[in-house]
Amino acid sequence: MLSLLGSFCWVEAQPLEVSVPLCRIVNDRLSAICQEHPGRFAAYAALPLTDISAAAAELERALGLPGIVGAQLPGNAFLTRNDAEAMRPLLEVANRHRAMLFIHHGPRPGDAYPKVSGDTDNARRRNGTLDMQASLSSVMVTLCLTDYLASYPDAMIHIHNLGGNIPYEVERMDHRCLLDTPTEELPSSRFRKAKVYVDCNSFGPRAIEAAVRLYGADRIVCGTDGTEFGCEWTNKALAEAEIGEEAREKILHRNAAAMLSPLARIAPVERAAA
């Protein structure tokens, strides 16, 4: 799957007169790469995030290009239900096209990023793990523990890094739910039923096992987050995870294939021929 780096600080965050033509160039070229290598690549569109109406228009255009199957969006846009309201035009386009939205940790235009300055102790650990995972947990709470996605049953939603720390936090959430709101459905049940996929990028075998117990193997895809991270760590983690061969095959291959194969209709001539 091809996309820009998921930091959202470059072409997507530029003023509209700059970001629209740059995103178009990126998306046209990503589509061309998909056509040059039939059957090998698909791509997420880059969107001009300084104006959500313009972003929705570019997503609509990009989904007509061969190989483009969705778009990549910043996690900060979904930290709370109120934050996510601004993104509804993009959800509407994705739902209409049955397309995929990949929500990656990162800022909206204007957000402070990174949150921790480089002169802070362990800045990379704080930004690249602590803040990232906590932010993704908030994204999952918004998308899975509210009715925000109810209006978009045909949009596919994918969150990276196992949806934050939820596989480890959900037991405490359940306990607090039993104490504070005992008539409410348990968070673990709602996470398990939500139509949100996660990937296992950069996690080890124990985290993958916890995610399988919570979400189920059907909801996890293999993720490596690009060539910088490489594939060796994730492959080793999946090989060592005590999840059974069927779950391993689902995560490595079958889930992603099931997610992507219906999207061939977005570009039927080039994609179906492959």
Q: Which of 40, 64, 46 is nearest to 9 (CA)?
A: 46
Give exposure, 112-125, as e/b (b: 16+ Cβ within 10 Å): ebbebeeeeeeeee
153 and 99 Cβ atoms separated by less than 8 Å:
no
Kind and range of the H or E run holding 44: strand 43-45
Q: Dihedral of CA 165/144/27/49: which sign?
A: negative
Instruction: Name every residue whose Cβ is closer than 8 Å to that of residue 154 and which is 6 or more positions away in sequence.
Output: 95, 96, 98
63 and 72 Cβ atoms separated by less than 8 Å:
no
Between the alpha carbon of residue 272 and those of residues 49, 208, 265, 266, the distances in Å are: 31, 33, 8, 10
The whole-number pLDDT of residue 274 equals 42
Taking the C-alpha atoms of residue 165 and residue 153, their distance in angstroms, rounded to an integer, is: 25
For the stretch 179-223, pLDDT in tens is 999 999 999 999 999 999 999 999 999 999 999 999 999 999 998
**In this prediction, what percent of the chain has a pLDDT beyond 90?**
82
Over 70: is that where the pLDDT of 13 sits? yes
Kind and range of the H or E run holding 69: strand 68-74
Token pair belonging to 174: 């359940």
Q: Is 100 helix (H, G, I), strand (E, B) or coil?
A: strand
Per domain, the residue ranges of the chain are 71-257
The whole-number pLDDT of residue 266 equals 58
What's the pTM value of the predicted model, to 2 decimals?
0.93
Q: How confident is the model at residue 101 (pLDDT cuts 50, 70, 90)?
A: very high
* Sequence-ordered strand ranges (E) for 75-195: 100-104, 156-159
Report the amino acid identity of residue 196: V
**Phi, psi dihedral angles at 166 (to 5 degrees):** -55, -40
Domain 71-257 matching CATH 3.20.20.140: the answer reads yes
